[in-house]
Amino acid sequence: MLTNKDLANFALNKATHVSSKYMWGEYGRTITNATIEQKARQYPLRYSQARIDELKKCTNGYWIGCDCAGLIKWFLWTDNGTHDIRYDSKTDRNTGGLWNCATNRGTIDTLPEIPGIILYKSGHVGVYIGGGKAVECTLGRYGDGIVQTEVSGRGWTHWITIPDIEYVTSSVGDLPAVGDIVDYSGDVHYSSANSTRAVPCKGGRAVLTRIYQLGRARHPYHLIYIRGSGSTVYGWVDSDKVKVIESD
């Protein structure tokens, strides 16, 4: 079962590592001329010629298109990024559909400190990632595509939970913090948080010693291997490959 922690890490990873553009009706597919034309035919009022021209600048194979509910679909339809997108009509929900299927709801002033809860306001959703921060896919003053924002000041009215996700509230399994013992599933590390040169290492148990610009840096977590564990990681790593084993 997918968890709220999975969704929070998935959203944060996409905001940090993926080049994205807001596309109404999209859910994580690579932007191509074909996808632009398809969505422009499907939603003509949402795709002005100026917007089409802007999106066509991003058809080099490195950009994905998404909208706010599409970020949730992307997570569900790839089983937390473990396989390619597989359409599922049961979870093909817009913002209203997410609201209607909610298993629990509350006003934003009662938002619990549970990363992975969905934030809601009429016509828009986002993902709470903890510490007063959210990830959302938007177009406007806060960005164009999947971005990290502050919860405060965004006009969120409610939080919701949905039936496709198991909500875990224990500290172990939440977003990592400095001092946590973690399992690193990757096989490379970096000399700095924004380096592009990967150095091979062995994954495994490590201590999280620093966090740098979470949501903005390429590799925001600094790990040091635990002796005797078989791990050799000693550097900066990607957030989506770090899982808390024991919280400090």
**Strand, coil or helix: 11:** helix
Q: What is the pTM (predicted TM-score) of this model?
A: 0.73
On average, the pLDDT of the chain sits at: 92
The residues that bridge with 64 in the sheet, in sequence order, are: 20, 30
Could you say which DSSP state residue 107 is in? E
User: Strand 234-237's sheet: what is its strand order?
Assistant: 234-237, 221-225, 204-211, 181-184, 242-246
Domain ranges (residues) in the chain:
4-161, 181-246
- The one-digit pLDDT tens for each residue of the chain (248 residues) are 899 989 998 999 999 889 999 999 999 999 999 999 999 999 999 999 999 999 999 999 999 999 999 999 999 999 999 999 999 999 999 999 999 999 999 999 999 888 899 999 999 999 999 888 999 999 999 999 999 999 999 999 999 999 999 887 654 445 788 888 899 999 999 999 999 999 999 999 999 998 888 767 889 899 999 988 899 999 999 988 888 886 65
Q: Cα separation of 174 and 172, whole Å? A: 6
CATH 3.50.30 describes domain 4-161: no
